Amino acid sequence: MFHILRAVERAHKVDLRRVALCAPIVFAVHVLEEAPNFVEWFNSMVGRGITQSLFFSVNAVAFLITLILAGLVAAARDQFAAMAMTTWLGFLMLANGLFHIVATAVHARYCPGIVTGTFLYIPYFAWFTSVAIRQLQIRLPVVIASAGVGSAPMFVHGYLIIFRGDRLF
């Protein structure tokens, strides 16, 4: 996977700014896949269900955060901005993408968001972090720690949903 991403980056001489600005688009496509059926799926898993309006308000806030961080990376193009975005993407895309994969496998039924979580979220996270590592000379252990910190709440939340029928937030 990383070989493919590196080849694409070399072929197009991708700049971190452009990669960062793709994040809101990737997020929006994921929400479009989830929106029609995620609330129903979620409420069938969790006793403390959610409403469609809560789903949209949570995703509106997440979109705003993604937009702000993408803009910060595009404007500043420094290690601090890239690490802030890596932490956020660890939560939003890496852990969430893995959540959809595990939920689908464990319950043997479609979890709305599995397609974009698998084929957009996880590859995009890998692409962004690999470009940030190369262009800003960020050390891999720092990226791993940052993504780990960011992803922890979503991993706990996902575990509760999938295996306990509960939720963290």
Q: What is the pLDDT of residues 110-130, one digit of tens each?
A: 999 999 999 999 999 999 999
Sign of CA dihedral 42, 160, 49, 58: negative
Q: How far apart are CA 136 and CA 129, in angstroms?
A: 10
Domains of the chain: 16-164 (1.20.1440)
Q: Is the pLDDT of residue 44 over 60?
A: yes
The tens digit of pLDDT for each residue in 139-148 reads 999 999 999 9
| Token pair belonging to 126 | 């890998």
- The region, left, alpha or beta by phi > 0 then psi within -120 to 50, assigned to residue 48 is beta
pTM of the model: 0.91
The tens digit of pLDDT for each residue in 45-64 reads 999 999 999 999 999 999 99
